[in-house]
């Protein structure tokens, strides 16, 4: 359910049959796994309708949206659904410009941070002034927390956004780099901006497989095509490498190695 919740937030969609269908199509999972997700969702929905008064009131006119889905046949992952699409540099420029035209400066800044770090939207919204640090003389983001241990990492600030980062530091009113109007009971700050991004994405002509998280795909792809080593890419975006050598014994790349890698990301024309 956490994966579905994250997808809905990033896409700016409501919980209904169509949004669940889009979520299932965005997953690169075997039909058996998708079936397990549907069963878990069905069980959760039925439990919430029975025991959660707020949920029951919010969805009183809606049938269980987890029921009635037809999954692809076959047992392999290749038939499991559609992957998230990758943004091109031009796409990111278009989204950034669209946010500015809509008068949403925080969203425009968030898009820039995502385009040059590949970080998850919530981690970007959790960045505070003190999380912009100097590592071996290189201005960097100190990402803390996240989905797993690897999500805690230090990522150099791309030269293209140093002015933006300095402005965000100077303009901060509450200690956070990105201002937002919402924070839920779990401390999540990205909900309003995630919804705004979903609306902007749709307005700019992008489909449901283009989500904020797609910027991670974009960054990883760009770094790989620039011949950045796989373990270094994984370190920058907060993934493990799947190898004992790097995940257990290696102590990570140096600040200058990470900086040189980040600087291989294409610069947006904005």
Q: Give me the pLDDT at residue 147, please.
A: 62
Mean pLDDT within 29-52: 87
Closest CA to 119 of 107, 131, 108, 111: 111
Residue-range domains of the chain with CATH: 2-79 (no CATH), 89-262 (1.10.443.10)
Sign of the alpha-carbon torsion through 129, 108, 195, 36:
negative
| 208/270 Cα distance (integer angstroms) | 25
Give percent above pLDDT 70 in the chain: 87
Q: Give me the pLDDT at residue 10, please.
A: 73
**Two structure tokens written together for 217:** 């795909």
For 154-177, what is each residue's pLDDT tens digit?
999 999 999 999 999 999 999 999
Grade residue 254 by pLDDT with cuts at 50, 70 and 90.
very high
Residue 31 C-alpha from the chain's centroid: 24
Count other C-beta atoms under 10 Å from residue 266's C-beta: 15
For 3-36, what is each residue's pLDDT tens digit?
888 888 777 778 888 888 888 877 767 788 888 8
Residue with tokens 């995502």: 114
Question: Which is higher by pLDDT, 40 or 3?
Answer: 40
Q: Give me the pLDDT at residue 241, please.
A: 60
Residue 71 C-alpha from the chain's centroid: 26
For 176-225, what is each residue's pLDDT tens digit?
999 998 766 567 889 889 989 999 999 999 988 888 989 999 999 999 99
Phi-psi domain of 175 (left: phi exceeds 0; alpha: psi -120 through 50; beta: other): left
Closest CA to 129 of 162, 164, 158, 170: 170
Q: Give me the pLDDT at residue 165, please.
A: 98
For 63-97, what is each residue's pLDDT tens digit?
999 988 877 654 444 434 457 789 999 999 999 99
pTM above 0.85, yes or no: no
Question: Which is higher by pLDDT, 255 or 21?
Answer: 255
Grade residue 129 by pLDDT with cuts at 50, 70 and 90.
very high
Q: Phi, psi at residue 28, to the nearest 5°?
A: -95, 70
CA distances from 175 to 113, 154, 171, 190 (A): 17, 19, 9, 15
Grade residue 131 by pLDDT with cuts at 50, 70 and 90.
very high
Mean pLDDT within 243-270: 81
């Amino acid at each position: 359910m956490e994966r579905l919740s994250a997808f809905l937030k990033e896409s700016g969609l409501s919980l209904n049959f169509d949004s669940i269908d889009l979520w299932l199509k965005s997953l690169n999972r075997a039909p058996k796994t998708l079936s397990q997700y549907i069963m878990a969702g069905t069980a959760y929905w039925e439990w919430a309708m029975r025991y959660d008064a707020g949920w029951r009131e919010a969805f009183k006119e809606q049938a269980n949206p987890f029921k009635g889905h037809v999954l692809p046949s076959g047992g392999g992952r290749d038939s499991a659904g559609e992957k998230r699409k990758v943004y091109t540099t031009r796409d990111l420029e278009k989204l950034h410009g669209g946010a500015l035209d809509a008068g949403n400066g925080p969203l425009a800044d968030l898009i820039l941070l995502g385009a040059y770090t590949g970080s998850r939207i919530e981690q970007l919204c959790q960045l505070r002034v003190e999380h912009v640090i100097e590592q071996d003389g290189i201005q960097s983001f100190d990402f803390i927390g996240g989905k797993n241990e690897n999500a805690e990492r230090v990522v150099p600030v791309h030269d293209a956004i140093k002015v933006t980062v300095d402005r965000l530091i100077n303009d901060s009113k509450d200690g956070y780099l990105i201002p937002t109007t919402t924070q839920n009971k779990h401390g999540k700050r990205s909900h309003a901006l995630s919804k705004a991004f979903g609306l902007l994405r749709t307005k700019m002509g992008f489909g449901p497989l283009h989500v904020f998280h797609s910027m991670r795909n974009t960054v990883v792809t760009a770094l790989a095509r620039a011949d950045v080593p796989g373990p270094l890419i994984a370190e920058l975006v907060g993934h493990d490498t799947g190898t004992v050598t790097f995940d257990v014994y290696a102590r990570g790349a140096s600040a200058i190695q990470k900086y040189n890698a980040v600087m291989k990301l294409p610069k947006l024309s904005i």
